Amino acid sequence: MIEAKFLITEESGRVARWLRLMGYDAVLAATKPLSELYQRAYREARIVVTRNSQVSASCLFRVIQLRSVNRDEQLRQILQETGVGIDEQRAFSRCDQCNVVLQEAPKAEVQDQVPPYVFSTQERFHSCPACGRIYWAATHWQRARELFDTLKT
Ligand SMILES: [Zn+2]
């Protein structure tokens, strides 16, 4: 399994959310000033992903210049250029809003935090230590899984 951390420039924020759903550490950053962006990429060993043509490659960190505005194409390009994969173990392990690793939440503890229907039909829950959001295998995960399947091919 290849490890990779990403630094996404703000205009491509949607990609960050999807990388998090895949389980990768993806943070957003402004491109002004560029020097700060570069320092952070270097210090935290992150791959810079951007559509901003002013961001230039360096020997100190990697830059992926996204060619497409299409999300699927962007994700495919990132997977191809980095060699990172989509795997079941990693996917859905991270809060897509906070970029924090989710913790398993015992079913008994989430009862008042999820809709009754969800509580009665789901067995496994996770919570985000940062925002407190409760996650379960809901429809948007299903949709994400379908997207992942198309990206794999
Ligand atoms: Zn969160």
| Average predicted confidence (pLDDT) for the chain | 91
In this model, does residue 152 exceed pLDDT 90?
A: no
Determine the distance separating the centroid of ligand 1 and the alpha carbon of 133, expressed in angstroms: 6
Determine the distance separating the centroid of ligand 1 and the alpha carbon of 96, expressed in angstroms: 7
Determine the distance separating the centroid of ligand 1 and the alpha carbon of 115, expressed in angstroms: 19
Sheet bearing 103-105, strands edge to edge: 103-105, 125-127, 134-135
Determine the distance separating the centroid of ligand 1 and the alpha carbon of 12, expressed in angstroms: 19
Residues 6+ apart with CB under 8 A from 45: 5, 61
Looking at residue 56, its amino acid is S
Please provide residue 135's backbone torsions phi and psi, each rounded to the nearest 5 degrees: -115, 145
Mean pLDDT score, 55-73: 92
Determine the distance separating the centroid of ligand 1 and the alpha carbon of 86, expressed in angstroms: 21
Q: pLDDT of 79-138, one tens digit each?
A: 999 988 888 788 889 999 999 999 999 999 999 999 999 999 999 899 999 999 999 887
In this model, does residue 78 exceed pLDDT 90?
A: yes
In this model, does residue 143 exceed pLDDT 90?
A: no
Residue-level pLDDT at 1: 65
Determine the distance separating the centroid of ligand 1 and the alpha carbon of 120, expressed in angstroms: 23
Q: Is omega for the bond preceding 33 within 30 degrees of 0, making it cis?
A: yes
CATH 3.40.50-classified regions of the chain: 5-82
Q: Which of 23, 21, 14 is nearest to 49 (CA)?
A: 14
Determine the distance separating the centroid of ligand 1 and the alpha carbon of 134, expressed in angstroms: 9
Residue-level pLDDT at 59: 86
User: Binning pLDDT at 50, 70 and 90, where does residue 55 land?
Assistant: very high
Determine the distance separating the centroid of ligand 1 and the alpha carbon of 127, expressed in angstroms: 8
CATH value of 5-82 in 3.40.720, 3.40.50, 3.40.91, 1.10.10: 3.40.50
Output the CA angle 42-45-50, nearest 5 degrees.
75
Determine the distance separating the centroid of ligand 1 and the alpha carbon of 114, expressed in angstroms: 15
CA distance 105 to 109: 7
pTM of the model: 0.88
CA distance 21 to 9: 18
CA distance 124 to 9: 34
